[in-house]
Structure 1
Amino acid sequence: MRDFPSCFAENGVQVADSSSSNAGKNAQNLVTCIYQCRIRGRTCLITVTWTKNLIGQGLTVGIDDSCNQSLCKVEIKPWLFTKRKGSKSLEAYSCKVDVFWDLSSAKFGSGPEPLAGFYVGVVVDKEMILLLGDMNKEAFKKTNATPSSSSALFVAKKEHVFGKRVFAAKAQFSGNGKTHDLVIECDTSVSDPCLIVRVNGKPMMQVKRLKWKFRGNDTIIVDRMAVEVLWDVHSWLFGIPSTGNAVFMFRTCQSAEKAWSFSHSLTDAKSQSFGFSLILYAWKNE
């Protein structure tokens, strides 16, 4: 099915890549987060992907330049995190990049992303350009790094969610904003299905006559910010729900432009208001 393209920089960075239903839902339990950082004055994107399957849980950290060209990548195999603590040195922009991780005490929920008790750090020139998790003290002690002069910017997240009628996720639409409970409700078994989006239990958007409006966009207000909601539920209504997924995008931006393709510059250091994208692939459990 068609995905929502989200393009950054001149040549674009695809954050909503193809989600193949042929791979099966069991292979789709993953969360991908994209962060904008700077390495020696150059803009780069660090992609952190958490996976979970029958073998165990895994982690991949990749670094791309602003033109979506891969610079380096490290993959921790999903053997129940056999190597739960460690580091690996890579090279990007002709300089050494060190990736450190400690997942030995990580606590997980139903998804592949750890909830607490871990850190993942990326160090360049003895500066911590990206640090994830709640073990900051341990991370800085292990790496001997100092905080970076420029903070990493969380620009996109892609997640697979599952349910029969209700699909839930956590959403933080700004770096310093609150984390919200996001719920999508849609019962496709009725003759006239309706789509409802709730934030913290409050209905924010309702789409009636969904068979005629199976693709579309609307705007809601969260934390005094405009959040554009785009949806594509064609597979739910006209395909086989158990093998096809719907796609939802929640996007914050200053522009009033409403289109399927979004382009914003990452190279302008003065402008960091291009927004945040949350892409949800929703799979129905029949």
Structure 2
Amino acid sequence: MQDPIGIPTCFSSSEKLSDDQAAVTRSGQSVFMTVYRTKIADQCRLITITWCKNLLLHGLSVSVEGPEGESQYTCKVELKPWYFWRKQGSKRFIVDGKAVDIFWDLKAAKFNGETEPNSEYYVAVVCDEEVVLLIGDLKKDAYKKTGCRPALIDPILVSKKEHIFGKKKYSTRVKFLEKGRFHEISIERKNSSGGGNMSNGNSSIGVEPEMEIKIDGLLVIHVKHLQWKFRGNESIYVNKMRVEVYWDVHDWLFSPGLRHALFIFKPILSSISLSSLSSSSSPPLFSLTSTPLSSQTESSGSLEGLNASGSSDFCLFLYAWKLE
């Protein structure tokens, strides 16, 4: 379940993304990373869109995977309040001899307090006169600005990685399907009365830690005796779609200072669940069952977005940082 953090810092002027865990400890910084797979320069490559936010600015980074995944071509934008010209622009770099252009328009972007904008923006990646990736709602403006046609192959959403901070409660919004609706995920650490006793300073006699995970306000996972079950997994159902949930909260309980827990949400799609999703208009259905621990957190699949096992390419990696 361990996943490299790879946290870029909004303050860095370097073209290389920082892997230093200390970067995330900067006051108030949140990070949201989205990874897509698409065809660029005659090869299937990963594109990573990273948004970071701290007390001073918003930052945007667009990285394209280099040859054999060894290096990256990166475009960084710092949205400082006094740098209005940086909120719209373009940048070009060469990938295997072919030009790749990044276009962005964030002049009127609405963030609504979140790290990633909600509306009134676009970010487009262009290669071979095709828009190979386009995010945001201003799609007509993007096509007009780039003067290019949509790519014949749609990009595949591979993963999202989000870093959030809190003392007891952590929440985020996510789409388990690219064309699905947003779901509200809430994770909360609690203490309950019991006979447990832990040797470190995080729990006392008569108090046992618990954890609750809610989706759209409904409890889907309740872990009691968290000090013994700090790593585990469950299978839940969201709108009849199975979602594997993995957690590792060891550092919450046993490590002092600013430490993070890792949660992974992995949709498992079948032909039955896909037909149910397309035809169902009923309220969300949740249920809870046990399932063997799986290590299928890597992305591999067809251009349709599903692999042979029926598992979606998509994974949500949620890093929940504990503030004292």
- Answer whether TM exceeds 0.5 for this pair: yes
CA 1:257–1:35 in 2, change beyond 3 Å: closer, same or farther? farther
Aligned to 1:151: 154
Query: RMSD across aligned C-alpha pairs, in angstroms?
Result: 2.6
CA drift of 1:244 comes to 1.0
- Note closer, same or farther for the CA distance 1:40–1:4 as it changes in structure 2 (3 Å cut): closer
User: What amino acid is the match of 1:35?
Assistant: Y
CA distance 1:243–1:43, shift in 2 (3 Å): same
How far apart are residue 43 of structure 1 and its match? 0.8
2:179 is aligned, of 171, 176, 182, to 176
| SS of structure 2 residue aligned to 1:182 | strand
The one of 117, 120, 129 aligned to 1:114: 117
On the 8 A contact 2:51/2:61 being kept in 1, the answer is yes
Cα pair distance change 1:54/1:75, threshold 3 Å? same
Corresponding residue to 1:102 among 95, 101, 105: 105
2: CA distance, partners of 1:25 / 1:283: 12
Aligned to 2:278: none
Gap change, CA 1:92 and 1:109, over 3 Å in 2: same
User: For 1:1-286, what aligned pairs fall within 5 Å after superposition?
Assistant: 3-4=2-3, 20=21, 23-26=24-27, 28-65=29-66, 67-80=68-81, 82=83, 83-187=86-190, 191-240=207-256, 242-253=257-268, 258-260=293-295, 262-266=297-301, 268-269=302-303, 272-273=306-307, 274-286=312-324
Per-residue deviation, 1:199: 0.9
The C-alpha deviation readout for 1:122-152, integer Å capped at 9, x for no partner, is 0111111111111111111111111111111
The one-letter code of the counterpart of 2:248 is D
TM-score scaled to structure 2, two decimals?
0.76
Query: Partners in 2 of 1:230 and 1:58 — Cα distance?
Result: 29
Higher strand share: 1
Percent of residue pairs bearing the same amino acid type: 35
Q: Contact conserved, 1:118 with 1:134, CA < 8 A, in 2?
A: yes
**Structure 1's 131 and 230: CA in aligned 2 closer, same or farther, altered over 3 A?**
same
User: 2:162, 2:319 within 8 Å by CA — same for their partners in 1?
Assistant: yes
Q: Deviations over 1:164-209 (max 9, x none)?
A: 2221100111122221011111125762111111111111111111
| Paired residues, number | 273
- Segments of 5+ residues of structure 2 without an aligned counterpart are 6-17, 192-201, 271-290
Give the structure 2 partner of residue 10 of structure 1. Answer: none
Gaps of 5+ in 1: 7-16
Would you say the 8 A contact 1:21–1:243 is kept in 2? no
**What residue number does 1:11 align with?**
none
Report the alpha carbon displacement of residue 81 of structure 1 after superposing the two structures with TM.
7.5
Q: Please state whether the residue corresponding to 1:116 is helix, strand or coil.
A: coil
What CA deviation, in whole Å up to 9, does each residue of 1:7-34 have, x standing for no partner? xxxxxxxxxx967257515264111110
Equivalent in the alignment of 1:13:
none
Q: What SS does the corresponding residue of 2:226 show, helix, strand or coil? A: coil
Decide whether aligned partners of structure 1 residues 276 and 18 sit closer, same or farther in structure 2, where only a CA change above 3 A counts: farther
Bigger Rg, structure 1 or 2:
2
Q: Using a 3 Å threshold, how does the CA distance of structure 1 residues 202 and 39 change in structure 2: closer, same or farther?
A: same
